[in-house]
Every structure is written in structure tokens, then in C-alpha cells.
Amino acid sequence: MSPTITAFAQSPDRGRGLARDMQVRWALEEVGQPYDVRLVSFSDMKETAHWALHPFGQIPTYQDGDLVLFESGAIVFHLAERHAGLLPDDANARARAIAWMFAALSSVEPPILELANARLLEGDKPWSKERLPLVVDRIRDRLKQLSNRLGDADWLDGEFSAGDLLMVGVLRRLSSSGLLDEYPNLAAYVARGEARPAFRRAFAAQLAVFTAASGG
């Protein structure tokens, strides 16, 4: 039986593929693993049945037989460990690719999430205007470092890996901010990720959910 993931029945990103089921879908497509999707509403996610799958009442979740997983990074890692295509065979190269997975989620993503929170949750606070440039500068610091490391390479460490998949997923959150365009090699890196056939299939699948939900 195919694994089942959960995704938003109506994603607030309006089909831009920014919710985290996108990374899981992408990884499943990269490794050629068919999957089912169970769509959940915001209220479904706060029901007892969903708490049993996800301790924070969120998407995505992943169920395969007896195995239930949450956290998109852990799900991508699980898929990368069990299928060929997302982690190199060489032990050292594999360890470095895993380091990039952690880097995406624990070094690059936090300031990006901070900006989303600063805009969405704190935008109306009297101190918000003063704080925003500081938050943006913290993102720029990280992007500059990442841009320096990537240089003119296609991917972060040799062949495309789960590290690139997660990093591109994180950087895509900046697409509408204009910040990525300040680092042309990072913008090109994201575009390379988005051009992968597996990404395009995953993107189309999540967009179809949004289109159907909005009656299109």
C-alpha cells in the first residue's frame, strides 16, 4: 500500500506550494514513490484523531503501515534513507548532505520564519516598523553566507540531495520578498530546484488541490 500524507484542504498560500507538504510531495516524487493524500481542514487538525498523528496539530503527517511520522524534515530524511536518489552512497558525502538538511531547517529557516511572524503576527505593534529591518538584515546575513558557499555550483555539495530539496523549500518562502534577487546565484539555485520534473509534479499536485477547493 502507498504511504498517505496529510495536506491542507485549503492552503492559505493559495497554491504557491509554500506549505510543508510540498517538500514531502517533492521527495516522494524524486524517489518515485506513489502516495495518497488526505486533505484536512484547520479544524480537522485540532481533532483527537489528528493529535494522535501530530503532537502539534499540524500538517504534514506521513503514514506507512505502522509508521506514523510528523515534521517535514524527518519525513524527507526517512524517504531519503529508504530510497535511492536523495542521499549519496559515499558515507562522507552522505553525512555532508544530511548536514545541509539540518542547515536548511535550523540555520537558514529560523530568520525567514521570524520575518513571516514579524509581518503576520506583529505587523500592527507600535515597534514593528523599527524591528522589521533588523529581522531582514538577519536573513541577508545568512543568504550572503549561503551564497558565498554555493558560489557557481549547481547544488550545495555535488549531486542534488535531500539537503538541496529542503534548502530550496526554505528559500522559496522568500520568493515574494525580493530578497533572493539580491543573490543571483541563490535565485538561480531555487529556479534549478523548481525546474526539476519531480518538483513540477509535486507542485502541480498541490496546486490542483487549491484549484479544486476554490471551484476552479
Contacts with ligand GTB, residue ranges (CB under 6 A): 12-13, 18-20, 42, 45, 57-60, 71-73
CB of 12 to ligand GTB, least distance (A): 4
68 vs 84, which CB is nearer to ligand GTB? Answer: 68
The helix (H) or strand (E) run that includes residue 63 is: strand 61-64
Bridge partners for 36 per DSSP = 4
Q: How far is the CB of 185 from ligand GTB (least distance, A)?
A: 25
Best CA proximity match to 17, nearest among 206, 210, 216: 206
3 state DSSP class of 58: coil
CA distances from 92 to 15, 98, 182 (A): 37, 10, 32
The residue (of 42 and 102) whose beta carbon lies closer to ligand GTB is 42
Q: How far is CA 140 from the centre of its chain?
A: 19
CB of 169 to ligand GTB, least distance (A): 9
Minimum distance from residue 93 beta carbon to ligand GTB (Å): 24
Phi, psi of 191 (to 5 degrees): -60, -35
Residue closer to ligand GTB, measured from CB, 62 or 147: 62
Q: Between 147 and 172, whose beta carbon lies closer to ligand GTB?
A: 172
